[in-house]
Amino acid sequence: MIDLSWVIDPIYIATIFFFIVGLQRMSHPLTARSGIVWAGAAMVIATLVTFLTPNLTNFALMAIGIVIGGGFGYIAAKRVAMTGMPQMVALFNGMGGGAAAGISAVELLGITTSATTSSLAVIGGLIGAVSFAGSIIAFMKLQGWMRPRPITFPGQKILNMAVFALAVVSGILVVMQPSWVPLAVTLYLPLFFVLSLGFGLLMTLPIGGADMPVVISMYNAFTGLAVALDGFSFATPNYAMVVAGIIVGAAGSLLTLNMARAMNRSITNVFFGAFGATEETGVEIKGSMKAIEADDVAVMLAYADKVIIAPGYGMAVAQAQQKVKELTDLLESKNIPVKFAIHPVAGRMPGHMNVLLAEAGVGYDHLFDRDEINPEFPATDVVLVIGANDTVNPASHRQGSPLFGMPILDVEQAKNVIVLKRGQGKGFAGIENDLFYRDNTRMLYGDAQETVGKLVQALKKL
């Protein structure tokens, strides 16, 4: 058989270049699709060239794993609705963390591992297991299989730290006593992974749905870091894993920090603050919610000089993005400019609103982030808030509110605010929205897709 092992490292280096190009192109919505293609091609090449590894005999198991995993991923990606995208991202990211933990386990079972490679494998296994368990809890909360609000109990933080400390101690014992020693195989290694998984589960339970964008991003960074450490833990380092893992870890970390900054909160507060565990009480908001009909809103829009749309997760639930695009086109055909105000944490994952609107064909030049659009609200005739809640809540300006200090979209400064909402419920944070009671706010109740459709029909008659 011809030895082609010499081509492995050069091809791995080429895939690293593809990963970097893909990531760079993903940084802009106009090139994001091609960026995914570049990164996907790199992963396919890196996977195929692995079959050329010397002394590799488990080709059948590798092929079976690729077929099952790839088949499941393809079917799930084709079938998932955009409303289910956040939980799918959480689930797939968890699978990456679980795979990293599995690689660590295999490496720790090898008799040729040194103290250095074992230490790296233990750290990678700990981070990967935490990412796996935490991502599964995030998936279950987003999917509605668990209550989305924080789950807390007395002594929770002490228990979490105790489980983490025991996981670290058991990991040290695995390194100190080689895994091929029976005691390490039968006791320390299984205990290490059970405790690591337990810590990931316990750490995620007190995190509420309002913080899911940050959680998903953080566990994505964890998975990347675990993969990079696993790449170093091999007797011959796998530099494709190392570089790809570092890129994912760095990108996820930066995104996590940006998400936390967008909510004016620290990472420790997100993960240990149990935000939203209790509802705000003792606050009396003056005024009342005032309903309005679609025909009246259509008249307001027809005579507006400027319209801004602030979308939220409710738009995703109603799958109203296509109707919103139709409304935008209709308004612009009447020479009424329309802009979209995008809050960094609108929806349940980073960039959720951008993806939804791009899917509907809304041009990127229509999308503006919070800092760009906030100065324009005072001169705006009508703002349509479609399914957003916490990201437009003026309670963030009220001293003592759990939202205090969180930068929001200042829609309340517009001349008229129309809130499209199913009912009078509160957002993920469990805090009453002051905006709904303002004198310049009207509530258009109903399913967002239906109500936007009514607006379109009413506008066509004007």
Active site residues: 390
In one letter, which amino acid is 83? T
Say if CB 125 and CB 196 are below 8 A apart: yes
Residue 291 has what DSSP assignment? B
Q: Which of 221, 277, 300 is nearest to 428 (CA)?
A: 277
Paired strand residues for 385:
310, 419
- SS3 of 385, please? strand
Q: What are phi and psi of 347, to 5 degrees?
A: 95, -165
Cα torsion through 436, 439, 441, 445, rounded to 10: 70
- From residue 186, give the alpha-carbon distance in Å to each of 120, 124, 193, 454: 21, 20, 12, 65
Cα end-to-end distance, the chain, whole Å: 77
Token readout for 401 is 């509110």
Determine whether 182 is exposed, middle or buried from the number of CB atoms within 10 Å of its CB (0-12, 13-18, 19+): exposed
Token readout for 173 is 């014992």
Q: Which of 332, 197, 335, 207 is nearest to 273 (CA)?
A: 207
Residue 186 has what DSSP assignment? I
Max CA separation in the chain (angstroms): 82
Q: What angle do CA 431, 89, 308 make, to 5 degrees?
A: 50
Residue found by looking up tokens 């009912």 in the block:
423
Paired strand residues for 342:
369
CA distance 297 to 299: 5
Per-residue exposure over 380-400, b if at least 16 CB sit within 10 Å of its own CB, e if not: bbbbbbbbbbbbbbbbbebee
Say if CB 355 and CB 315 are below 8 A apart: no
CA distance 19 to 12: 10
Determine whether 186 is exposed, middle or buried from the number of CB atoms within 10 Å of its CB (0-12, 13-18, 19+): exposed
Residues 6+ apart with CB under 8 A from 398: 283, 404, 434
Paired strand residues for 341:
368
